[in-house]
Amino acid sequence: MSDRPDAGSHDAATRSPQQETLVDSRSGGENARRILRRDPNPHLFRPVQFRSVKARNRIMLSPMCQYSGHDGLSNDWHFVHLGARATGGAGWVFTEAVHVEPRGRITPHCLGLWNNEQRDRLARIAAFVEQQGAVPGIQLGHAGRKASVGRPWEGSHPLRPEQGGWDDLVSASALPYARGWQVPAAMTPSQIDASLESLKASTRRAREAGFKALELHGAHGYLIHQFLSPLSNRREDAYGGSFEHRIRFLLESIGVVREEWPDELPLFLRLSCTDWVEGGWTLDDSVHLAARLRQQGQVDLIDCSSGGNDPRQQIPIHPGYQIPLAQRVRQESGMATGAVGLIHSPDLAEAVIANGQADLVVLGRALLADPAWPLRAAAMLKAENVAWPPQYERSNIF
């Protein structure tokens, strides 16, 4: 018998030279017929946990304004819209931007959370989303100088009071977003304090409504972004000038949110990682800020978007165009990130997670077009770790 340690029970003397030298050429994941098999447990559908909240997968419905409310109140449209994405399999279902005061709305038809009736309408939605196995999330924000405009299908033009808008806009500085837009008032210290108190009160109502994740909107040219970017912040006090001063309003916003938002629940931050305009907020700034926030330990994920603060922006639009932003922030700061930006195919979404470019994929238009996108993606990726709603199981044959 052979004394080779790997000989086992086979006698090398009975093997031909050809048998001794043959090596199986199959790579990992192939069967005997050299058919490559997908992992039945795709990365996209593996659970992920932030603080005490565990989601069934890495798919997040991006906050997408519906412009369909009245007096800041949600209605059946919002219930069906968000409920459908929960039954469709998304792991995280976030509301559209919900505003902390009336003049902070983007349009007269946007949602708010400055009173208890608004809270109670949203509570019904949060409860249903959670019952379907998704994490109910809410995004809070303030439009600042980009408030009081028409709905997209009505032109998104600035609205005056006689057109149903308002004229008490505020911002970091008295600079309009673009020519022909209203000139906002530069916020005084007392107005900043009042805005922070409104955010704190809205956070309390979000908690009372039963949401389990909260995202602070610091992107797309809205109020927090207006303080961050030197293009819109020309202040000469403690809220303007240096990087440290320009991030102060954001840090104070995070602080008041955490006064009402429990330690066991996650807090996300949507950030425009670059203004795409020379002299504006940069990706380097975003990495620096993310590292700072990770060290402080109050924010759990950066939702990496871009642009929206200056009409001169030059954005290179293509599927996945913002994935490199999420990847760099994640790699260089250590902060968890969400990748967003025309991610539409299951394979692209799976690659983002599998390759460590982000921790979540944040889908907007893809989920608007198809509420069941996650279930269809699971079928395409041949996932065996996804449970369909029993009411829809009969459709899982395609």
CB 237 within 8 A of CB 182: no
Residue type, 229: S
Strands of the chain, DSSP E: 48-50, 53-55, 59-61, 92-99, 111-112, 135-141, 170-171, 185-186, 213-218, 267-272, 301-305, 336-340, 360-363
Chain position carrying tokens 């019904």: 124
DSSP 8-state symbol, 97: E
Are the CB atoms for 99 and 112 separated by under 8 Å?
yes
Specify whether the backbone of 382 is left (phi greater than 0), alpha (psi in -120 to 50) or beta: left
Instruction: Point out the catalytic residue in the list 67, 222, 239, 392.
Output: 222
Q: CA 329, CA 396: separation in Å to the nearest integer? A: 37
239, 242, 248, 249 alpha-carbon torsion, rounded to 10°: 50
- Dihedral pair phi/psi, residue 301, rounded to 5°: -160, 140
How many Å apart are CA 36 and CA 38, to the nearest integer?
Answer: 7
Told to judge if 222 belongs to the known catalytic residues of this protein, a careful annotator would answer: yes
Query: 153: how many CB neighbours lie within 10 A of its CB?
Result: 7
**Structure tokens that stand for 74 in this block:** 């949600």
**DSSP states along 267-289:** EEEEEES--SSTTS--HHHHHHH
- Rg value, the chain, Cα: 25
The DSSP code for 56 is S
Q: DSSP 3-state assignment of 149?
A: strand
Closest CA to 338 of 308, 302, 367, 388: 302
Strand-strand pairing, 336-340 and 213-218: unpaired
Q: List the catalytic residues.
A: 222
